[in-house]
Amino acid sequence: MDLTIALCIGIAVTVSGLIVAVRARLRMRKSLGRRVSDLDLVSYRTWNQVQETEKRNAESGPIHPR
């Protein structure tokens, strides 16, 4: 019983981690315009570039987005 619960929790954590990684890769790829490596995902400098790009895009977008 305990092993089953631990296995279910382990699977849930693994799947949610994969989903977060894929979403982060897509966000970075969209902002940077290039393929993203594993090192980019943990790089503080790369995340700063992503935030700056997203901020610039938000400022240059429409005034009242829907």
Global pTM exceeds 0.85: no
Instruction: Report whether 28 contacts 36 (CB < 8 A).
Output: yes
pLDDT digits (tens, 9 = 90+) for 16-34: 999 999 999 999 999 999 9
Kindly give, in sequence order, each residue whose CB lies less than 8 Å from that of residue 53, ignoring residues fewer than 6 positions away: 31, 32
Q: Domain residue spans in the chain?
A: 2-59
CB 31 within 8 A of CB 50: yes
Q: Is 27 helix (H, G, I), strand (E, B) or coil?
A: helix
Q: What is the pLDDT of residue 41?
A: 87
How would residue 66 be classed by pLDDT, with cut points 50, 70 and 90?
Answer: low
Q: Taking 90 as the threshold, does the pLDDT of residue 60 lie above it?
A: no
The whole-number average pLDDT for the span 2-29 is 95
Rounded-to-integer distance, Cα 41 and Cα 8, Å: 27
